Amino acid sequence: MFSRIGEARLTRPVDPSRTLGQGRAHRVLIAGVALGAVKVFDLLVRGAVPVDLGVGREVRRLGPVSWDIAASPERVFDAVRAPYAERVPRALRGKVEVWERGTDMVLAAHRTPVRERIAVTVETVRFDRPHRIDFRLVRGPVPHVSESFTFEPISGGTRLTWEGELGTDLWWLGRRWGDRVAAVWEQAVRGSVEQVRSACEA
């Protein structure tokens, strides 16, 4: 008798509506996770949810990259500093917003187009005219970035050198994210320097 009951349970037909409901719930769950991942990625890119866990921290070098510009160190320095001046050139408005200002340092938000998004980073910027400008990340897509521009006088102009370091958390996962951020970061720097070169050599 018990064996027959067991057989009956094993051979009980599956309710199609129940299977369909489970499949639909599974698809909804996957879609929800995917949408959540896209939202988190968007927040990371925009620097709205900086991940600073202090676990599995890895630091990579940025640069060094140098450009020779046919202008004096003072002129090149002032061109790099222009976005942080009290009177910002019209072409640079909207890209940099100074939040706090000191005698030789500012706290500024930088807006950089990344595909269809606008990445926002907040950095301290320290000036030592006409030798050096230092940047340190306060809020952004990674927990740590420090970088600098140095201005070396050379025959016929200035050698502008950019270098720094970028740190991410969570071991290999952070390393892959750091690869993407570093590539965009360097591309943004190169674009900015080309604008500086054009302005100085015009």
Task: Tell me the pLDDT of the chain averaged across its residues.
Answer: 83
pLDDT at 32: 43
What's the burial of 154, exposed, middle or buried (CB within 10 Å: 0-12/13-18/19+)? exposed
CA distance 68 to 62: 19
Beta-bridge partner residues of 61: 165
Q: Which of 65, 76, 61 is nearest to 151 (CA)?
A: 76
Please give the CATH superfamily to which domain 46-201 belongs.
START domain (3.30.530.20)
Cβ contact 143:52 at 8 Å: yes
pLDDT (tens digit per residue) in 65-112? 999 999 999 999 999 999 999 887 777 777 899 999 999 999 999 988
Total-model pTM: 0.76
